Amino acid sequence: MKCLVTGAAGFIGSKVSERLCAAGHEVVGTRIIMLLNKGMK
Calculate what percentage of the chain has a pLDDT beyond 70: 78
pLDDT bin (cut points 50, 70, 90) of residue 30 is confident
How does DSSP assign 1-41, residue by residue?
-EEEEETTTSHHHHHHHHHHHHTT-EEEEE-------TT--
**pTM, 2 dp:** 0.69
Question: Residues 17, 8: contact at Cβ < 8 Å?
Answer: yes
Per-residue pLDDT, averaged over 13-40, amounts to 83
User: Using CB atoms within 10 A of its CB, is residue 13 exposed (0-12), middle (13-18) or buried (19+)?
Assistant: middle
